[in-house]
């Protein structure tokens, strides 16, 4: 009945989340190790699979609402599962963007040794992993922790931007490559952002409190 | 594709000149819960009473068309045999007031004059009450009359009584409409268990119940079968506007 | 509105209520007067011997009413044997078939029978059974009484069964049980309390009927259990002895009246208790 259906949807969502996590990880690894195979995998295999999962989960959520008219916590759960589903799909899209940019970059010499991007990628990955863990464990404390780390990633993106601007200014031949790097850093920043979205959804699902759009509880 | 356990061919039923079921063609899949849903007076109770040949007991009642139970024409067999293979549970719980709980469960055998050994009847009573999720509550009171049971328990007793006959199909005519929400919930849960062994055909005008419990839904309106399909699909994107209007509460 | 008006209304209200109570009370008075009178005159005759001895001829002291008591029981049994099954069956038929020619006729017959004066029933029984067999008998008396029992049993059976919800019948039929078994094993047992009450009420009614017995059972000075011979009964004995010129017989009549009234009262009380204990709530 309802409880089992909700569990089914959660399971599928966990599957989708793991897939997205691996897509992000593979795209960064493909960039740093210059591994074309990995990047093509992300674009060619992982993304279609993620899209199918997203549609499956979406339909399942609608069916649950139609057939069971869930209330209170069950209602918050199913609506948030639907939203998390969307966020995951967008993360997948960003991972694809990273992979496409990386495909361009690995065929050309480096602008500069990659230090900050992997650092940013690592922090983003940790945020993503924690947000998914907070969802699976319904751990609102961990979720709140993730939301607070968003500033770190934003800071890293600004730093990369400043650095690359100086490169572009001094050597115009680096502009195209730098542009791709900037775009990759933006994708990572968006993935971090989507992770905080997921955490906000988890808090709403568990506690019924909204902390979205910068509304913190002390407001 | 599931097996079809019951099939109707242009089934119509009337009271005198008044046709309340019109040319219904329906195939019920086996070991599922199929709900027949529709507004009050749409003919759903009359329809299922054609399945166990109870409709013809009313004076002036007429049935046209055919009904096949596993491809056997039920109107060509003895109606009493049909009723032993297709059981029924009614809207208001109706255990036999002069019999003990034990006797109520095997009433189908006793009243038909079937001789059962003590061991056999004990087994049937225990199995049926367990299937109806009532065994634990009454196992120490089997020799008492059923009147001390609550409404929900009485209804489960009626379900046990019907199950004791080992029917192919169990018809349930708004089985929870006279019960409180808690008892209703228990019987809904029971139905999702029972469908593993018996095909269930449920009549209800409660859309929520239809959504929670059934695998397939048939929507009946003014005696006509408007739509039939998997419940999930009917509730999300029905094909017929009348179905949609009913589900959205435009008439009920 | 003024206080005076309201006071008037309250007063009128009280007066009305008081009147209702008074009149209700008045309706019990005849019963108590009868009982009192009978007990006053008949109690002295009552004794164990009174109940088990046969009546003595005129002039001899003592004696009892044993043959009348036994005779009354015999007549009730003879009356019940046909009346109960026929009555219940007719009641079942009427409750199952509310419309139709036969129902209409049966209902009509029952109504007419109920309204027929008891003496007319007696005359019919006389014509059928006494003249054709050439003599008075317990059988003819029993038949006459049975005819009088019939409408009551039919009526109460029908009313009782009407109160049984249809779903009970449907539950049985839905199990594949044939119709006649449903009636016999489900419906009639469920209506047992009402039907039994009906039978007892009809017995109480005929226990005191005198007119039909005058020319059927006829009466008998001796004990008789042969149904084709005349038999004595309590009402007959009371009638004969009360209208006789002998004072000893008058006191016997009073004693017998005590016994008869006692039996009827007991029957009514038992009926009430039974009805309440065995009643099934739907």
- The domain limits of chain C are 67-278
The reported pLDDT for the residue numbered A217 is 54
| DSSP 8-state code for residue C115 | H
Confidence of residue A219 (pLDDT cuts 50, 70, 90): very low
- The domain limits of chain A are 2-207
CA B151, CA B93: separation in Å to the nearest integer?
7
Q: What is the ipTM of this complex?
A: 0.91
Name C52's Cβ contacts closer than 8 Å, sequence gap at least 6.
Answer: C64, C66
Pairing of β B18-24 and β B72-73: unpaired
Question: What percent of chain B lies above the pLDDT cut of 70?
Answer: 99
How many Cβ atoms sit within 10 Å of the Cβ of residue C270?
12
Mean pLDDT on A145-157: 89
Residue B129 counted as domain residue: no
The reported pLDDT for the residue numbered A209 is 76
Angle at C174 between CA B153 and CA B104, to 5 degrees: 40
CA B17, CA C37: separation in Å to the nearest integer?
67
User: What's the CATH code of the domain at B46?
Assistant: 3.40.50.300
Angle at C125 between CA C123 and CA C128, to 5 degrees: 110
Range of the domain at B235: 4-98+167-247
Chain B's closest residue to C177, CA to CA, is: B112
Question: For domain C67-278, is the CATH number 1.10.3720.10?
Answer: yes
Number of CB pairs < 8 Å for B and C?
73
Residue B201 counted as domain residue: yes
User: Which tokens hold the place of B194?
Assistant: 């029972």
CA C145, CA C139: separation in Å to the nearest integer?
10
- The model's pLDDT over B47-104, given as tens digits with 9 standing for 90+, comes to 999 999 999 988 889 999 999 999 999 999 999 999 999 999 999 999 999 899 999 9
Task: Report yes or no on whether pTM surpasses 0.95.
Answer: no
Residue B123 counted as domain residue: no
pLDDT under 50 in chain C at which residues? none
- Taking each helix axis as running N to C, give the angle between helix A175-207 and helix A72-106, from 0 to 180 degrees, rounded to the nearest 10: 170
Q: Which of C63, A66, C222 is nearest to B207 (CA)?
A: A66
| 3-state helix, strand and coil shares in percent for chain C, rounded to the nearest 5 | 75, 0, 20
B147: which chain C residues are within 8 Å (Cβ-Cβ)? 281
Angle at C108 between CA C106 and CA C112, to 5 degrees: 120
B91 in contact with A, Cβ within 8 Å: no
Check CB contact under 8 Å for B235 and A63: yes
The arrangement of secondary structure in A2-207, i.e. its CATH architecture, is Up-down Bundle (1.20)
C191: which chain B residues are within 8 Å (Cβ-Cβ)? none
Place of tokens 């029978």: C113
Contact B109, B121 (CB under 8 A): yes
| pLDDT > 90? residue A82 | yes
Confidence of residue A193 (pLDDT cuts 50, 70, 90): very high
Check CB contact under 8 Å for B107 and C175: yes
**Three-class secondary structure of residue B13 per DSSP:** strand
C174 in contact with B, Cβ within 8 Å: yes
A8 in contact with B, Cβ within 8 Å: no
User: Which tokens hold the place of A139?
Assistant: 């751990």
| DSSP 8-state code for residue C222 | S
Across B57-86, b (16+ Cβ under 10 Å) vs e yields eeeebebebebbbeeeebeeeebeebbbbb
- The model's pLDDT over B160-196, given as tens digits with 9 standing for 90+, comes to 999 999 999 999 999 999 899 999 999 999 999 999 9
Mean pLDDT over the full length of chain A: 89
What does the longest C-alpha to C-alpha distance in chain A come to?
65
A3 in contact with B, Cβ within 8 Å: no
- The model's pLDDT over A162-176, given as tens digits with 9 standing for 90+, comes to 988 888 888 888 888
Number of domains in chain B: 1
- Nearest-CA distance B85 → chain A (Å): 28
Contact B180, B191 (CB under 8 A): no
- The model's pLDDT over C140-170, given as tens digits with 9 standing for 90+, comes to 889 999 999 999 999 999 999 999 999 999 9
Residue B160 counted as domain residue: no
For C63, left (φ over 0), alpha (ψ -120 to 50), or beta? left
Q: Which of B77, B74, B134 is nearest to B105 (CA)?
A: B134
The reported pLDDT for the residue numbered C221 is 79
A2: which chain B residues are within 8 Å (Cβ-Cβ)? 212
A55 in contact with B, Cβ within 8 Å: no
Number of CB pairs < 8 Å for A and B?
22
CA A20, CA A194: separation in Å to the nearest integer?
12
Confidence of residue A117 (pLDDT cuts 50, 70, 90): confident
Mean pLDDT on A8-16: 92
CA A32, CA A38: separation in Å to the nearest integer?
11
- Nearest-CA distance C85 → chain B (Å): 21
- Taking each helix axis as running N to C, give the angle between helix C118-125 and helix C138-163, from 0 to 180 degrees, rounded to the nearest 10: 130
- Rounded to the nearest angstrom, the gap between the alpha carbon of residue A23 and the centroid of all alpha carbons in its chain is 10
């Amino acid at each position: 009945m309802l409880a089992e259906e909700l569990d089914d949807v959660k399971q599928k969502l966990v599957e989708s989340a793991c897939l997205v996590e691996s897509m992000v990880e593979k795209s960064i690894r493909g960039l740093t190790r210059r591994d074309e195979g990995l990047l093509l995998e992300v674009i060619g295999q992982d993304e279609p699979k993620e899209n199918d999962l997203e549609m499956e989960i979406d339909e399942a959520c609608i069916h649950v609402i139609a057939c069971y008219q869930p209330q209170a916590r069950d209602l918050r759960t199913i609506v948030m599962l639907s939203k998390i589903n969307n966020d995951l799909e967008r993360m997948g899209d960003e991972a694809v963007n990273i992979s496409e940019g990386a495909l361009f970059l690995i065929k050309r010499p480096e602008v500069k040794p990659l230090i900050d991007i992997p650092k940013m990628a690592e922090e983003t990955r940790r945020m993503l992993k924690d947000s998914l863990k907070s969802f699976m464990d319904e751990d609102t404390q961990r979720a709140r922790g993730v939301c607070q780390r968003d500033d770190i990633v934003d800071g890293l993106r600004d730093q990369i931007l400043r650095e690359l601007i100086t490169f572009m200014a001094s050597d115009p031949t680096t502009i195209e490559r730098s542009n791709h790097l900037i775009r990759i850093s933006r994708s990572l920043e968006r993935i971090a952002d989507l992770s905080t979205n997921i955490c906000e959804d988890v808090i709403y699902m568990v506690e019924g409190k909204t902390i979205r759009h910068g509304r913190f509880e002390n407001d | 594709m599931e097996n079809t356990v019951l099939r109707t061919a242009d089934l119509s039923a009337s009271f005198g000149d008044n046709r309340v079921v019109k040319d219904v063609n329906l195939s019920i899949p086996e070991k599922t819960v199929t709900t027949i849903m529709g507004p009050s007076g749409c003919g759903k109770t009359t329809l299922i009473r054609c399945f166990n040949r109870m409709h013809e007991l009313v004076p002036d009642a007429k049935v046209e068309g055919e009904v096949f139970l596993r491809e056997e024409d039920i109107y060509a067999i003895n109606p009493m045999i049909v009723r032993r293979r297709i059981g029924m549970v009614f809207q208001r719980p109706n255990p036999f007031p002069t019999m003990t709980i034990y006797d109520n469960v095997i009433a189908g055998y006793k009243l038909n004059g079937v001789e059962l050994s003590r061991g056999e009847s004990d087994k049937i009573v225990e199995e049926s009450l367990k299937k109806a999720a009532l065994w634990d509550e009454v196992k120490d009171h089997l020799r008492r009359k059923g009147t001390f049971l609550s409404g929900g328990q009485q209804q489960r007793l009626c379900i046990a009584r019907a199950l004791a006959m080992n029917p192919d199909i169990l018809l349930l005519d708004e089985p929870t409409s006279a019960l409180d929400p808690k008892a209703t919930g228990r019987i809904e849960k029971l139905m999702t268990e029972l469908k593993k062994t018996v095909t269930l055909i449920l009549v209800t005008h409660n859309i929520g119940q239809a959504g929670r419990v059934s695998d397939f839904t048939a929507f009946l309106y003014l005696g006509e079968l408007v739509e039939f399909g998997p419940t999930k699909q009917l509730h999300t994107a029905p094909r017929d506007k009348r179905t949609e209007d009913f589900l959205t509460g435009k008439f009920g | 509105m003024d206080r005076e008006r309201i006071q008037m209304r309250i007063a009128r209200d009280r007066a009305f209520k008081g009147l209702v109570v008074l009149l209700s009370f008045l309706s019990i008075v005849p019963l108590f007067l009868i009982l009192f009178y009978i007990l006053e005159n008949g109690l002295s005759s009552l004794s164990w011997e009174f109940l088990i001895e046969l009546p003595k001829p005129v002039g001899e002291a003592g004696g009892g009413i044993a043959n009348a008591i036994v005779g009354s029981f015999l007549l009730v049994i003879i009356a019940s044997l046909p009346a109960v099954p026929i009555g219940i069956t007719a009641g079942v038929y009427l409750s199952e078939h509310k419309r139709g020619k036969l129902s209409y006729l049966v209902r009509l017959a029952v109504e007419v029978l109920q309204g027929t004066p008891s003496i007319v029933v007696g005359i019919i029984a006389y014509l059928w059974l006494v003249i054709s067999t050439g003599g008075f008998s317990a059988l003819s008396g029993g038949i006459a009484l049975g005819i009088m029992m019939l409408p009551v049993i039919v009526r109460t059976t029908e009313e009782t069964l009407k109160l049984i919800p249809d779903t009970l019948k449907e539950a049985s039929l839905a199990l594949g049980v044939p119709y006649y078994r449903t009636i016999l094993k489900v419906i009639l047992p469920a209506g047992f309390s009402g039907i039994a009450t009906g039978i007892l009420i009809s017995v109480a009614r005929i226990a005191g009927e005198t007119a039909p017995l005058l020319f059927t059972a006829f009466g008998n000075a001796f004990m008789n259990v042969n149904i084709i011979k005349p038999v004595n009964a309590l009402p007959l004995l009371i009638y004969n002895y009360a209208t006789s010129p002998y004072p000893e017989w008058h006191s016997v009549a009073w004693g017998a009246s005590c016994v008869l009234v006692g039996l009827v009262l007991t029957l009514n009380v038992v009926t009430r208790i039974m009805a309440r204990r065995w009643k099934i709530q739907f």
